[in-house]
């Protein structure tokens, strides 16, 4: 019989790490053997997350990547920016596959990374090798030969997938693209910070990282590859008082046809269908139905739709996903499935939960 894939998680007690544990608990091919957490070493995992009582019996271990690499087939690093880049070596990568949920290897231009993240990259030699793990776009590059996957950001996954077919097909003028996004507070992580306290967040909505959010260059770079052009966008995220979910609303001018008319609804829909009809986790909704975060919560789905505004010549594209699943842990498991030649949806057949 097939032997189980052994997995280690560093950052297992953060929100994305906890979601990895939840998803992998129901994965037929994987067992977690290392729950790494700098904050809770030697504490039982189920004491940190009581939902795992009698499901996970293990205690938390440290974040020693070199030691972990000797014991597992795949490592998930659900860690702050800079952690993996600071400890990754060729020796480690020669032994184990890594799916990194941080931004350390997402951006191919190290100067762009260093500018937006305000830090020096400690291991730029691995950037070119890392595959950007947006499965619906890069699936054929995420193979068993891959050693390092840069798992995309949550805003980024939603923003890219929502516009990707239209950028790829040249149906919109990318210079006019504006991405307005809203996220639940789990996106800010589990660290104790005053701006994330209940009283600060509840009954409130605010924009943050305006004209400076770190996911901007990631969206620009990936849509630039799609359109084979330079992409410069406005991206504005907002914090919304809910636990999970991202909704993006994107605006762009449609490219007019030779006769001056706009592309029809049918033409735009056909472009989406060309890329997403066979995609299990991208649901392009029926005409007139707008995506809502509650219809994807707890699942690996992205719901997408669009409206053409004839009056202004613009298209309004919308996308919704669960920032902890398709925006983080679910996508990481999707990548792992591709890395090991498993069925891509294994462990991810999660029906959105409502209410």
- Residues 224-280 have pLDDT tens digits of 999 999 999 999 999 999 999 999 999 999 999 999 999 999 999 999 999 999 999
Residue 129 confidence (pLDDT) above 80: yes
Say if pTM beats, i.e. exceeds, 0.85: yes
Question: What pLDDT is recorded for position 259?
Answer: 96
Residue percentage of the chain with pLDDT more than 70? 100
pLDDT band at 1; cut points 50, 70, 90: low
In sequence order, what are the residues at sequence separation of 6 or more whose Cβ sits closer than 8 angstroms to the Cβ of residue 111?
none
Strands in 152-286 per DSSP E: 172-183, 206-207, 234-239, 246-254, 282-284
Residue 71 confidence (pLDDT) above 70: yes
332-335 own/partner pairs: CB under 8 Å, 24+ apart: 332/16, 332/20, 332/76, 332/78, 332/99, 332/101, 332/133, 332/149, 332/151, 333/20, 333/23, 333/24, 333/27, 334/133, 334/135, 334/281, 334/300, 335/99, 335/133, 335/135, 335/142, 335/149, 335/151
In three-state secondary structure terms, 175 is strand
CA atoms within 13 A on the CB side of 343: 9
Q: Considering the chain, what is the average pLDDT of its residues? A: 97
Question: What pLDDT is recorded for position 34?
Answer: 98
What pLDDT, in 10s, does the model give residues 94-128? 999 999 999 999 999 999 999 999 999 999 999 99
Q: Report the alpha-carbon angle 17-79-220, nearest 5.
A: 105
In sequence order, what are the residues at sequence separation of 6 or more whose Cβ sits closer than 8 angstroms to the Cβ of residue 298?
244, 322, 325, 350, 351, 352, 353
Catalytic residue among 154, 158, 229, 353: 154
Calculate mean pLDDT across residues 32-43. 97
Residue percentage of the chain with pLDDT more than 90? 99
Preceding amide of 355 cis, omega within 30:
yes
Give, rounded to a whole angstrom, the gap between the first and last alpha carbons of the chain. 40
Residue 2 confidence (pLDDT) above 80: no
Place of tokens 């070199």: 66
Residue 330 confidence (pLDDT) above 90: yes
What pLDDT, in 10s, does the model give residues 7-21? 999 999 999 999 999
Calculate mean pLDDT across residues 49-59. 98
pLDDT band at 24; cut points 50, 70, 90: very high
- Report the alpha-carbon distance of residue 61 to residue 58 in Å, rounded: 9
What pLDDT, in 10s, does the model give residues 268-314? 999 999 999 999 999 999 999 999 999 999 999 999 999 999 999 99
199 is catalytic: no
């Amino acid at each position: 019989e097939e032997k189980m894939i052994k997995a280690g998680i560093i950052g297992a007690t953060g929100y994305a790490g906890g979601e990895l544990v939840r998803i992998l608990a129901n994965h037929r091919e994987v067992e977690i053997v290392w729950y790494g957490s700098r904050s809770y070493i030697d504490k039982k995992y189920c004491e940190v997350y009581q939902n795992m009582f009698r499901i996970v019996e293990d205690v938390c271990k440290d974040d020693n990547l070199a030691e972990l690499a000797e014991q597992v087939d795949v490592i998930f690093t659900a860690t702050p920016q800079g952690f993996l880049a600071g400890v990754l070596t060729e020796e480690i990568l020669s032994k184990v596959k890594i799916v990194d949920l941080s931004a350390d290897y997402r951006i191919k231009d190290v100067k762009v990374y260093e500018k937006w993240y305000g830090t020096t990259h400690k291991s730029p030699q691995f950037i070119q090798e890392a595959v950007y793990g947006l499965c619906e776009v890069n699936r054929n590059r995420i193979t068993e030969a891959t050693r390092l996957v840069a798992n995309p950001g949550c805003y980024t996954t939603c923003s890219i997938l929502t516009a990707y077919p239209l950028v790829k097909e040249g149906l919109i003028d990318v210079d006019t693209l504006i991405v307005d996004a809203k996220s639940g507070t789990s996106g800010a992580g589990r660290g104790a910070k005053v701006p994330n306290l209940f009283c600060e967040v509840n009954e409130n909505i605010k924009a943050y990282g305006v004209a400076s959010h770190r996911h901007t260059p990631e969206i620009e770079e990936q849509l630039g590859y799609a359109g084979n052009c330079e992409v410069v966008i406005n991206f504005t995220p907002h914090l919304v008082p809910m636990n999970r979910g991202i909704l993006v609303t994107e605006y762009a001018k449609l490219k007019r046809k030779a006769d001056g008319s706009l592309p029809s609804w049918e033409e735009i829909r056909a472009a989406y269908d060309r890329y997403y009809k066979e995609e299990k986790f991208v649901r392009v909704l029926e005409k007139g139905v707008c995506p809502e975060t509650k219809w994807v919560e707890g699942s690996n789905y992205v719901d997408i739709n669009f409206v053409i505004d004839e009056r202004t010549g613009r298209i309004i594209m919308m996308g919704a996903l669960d920032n902890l699943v398709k925006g983080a842990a679910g996508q990481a498991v999707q990548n792992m499935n591709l890395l090991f030649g498993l069925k891509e949806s294994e462990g991810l057949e999660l029906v959105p939960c409502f209410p």
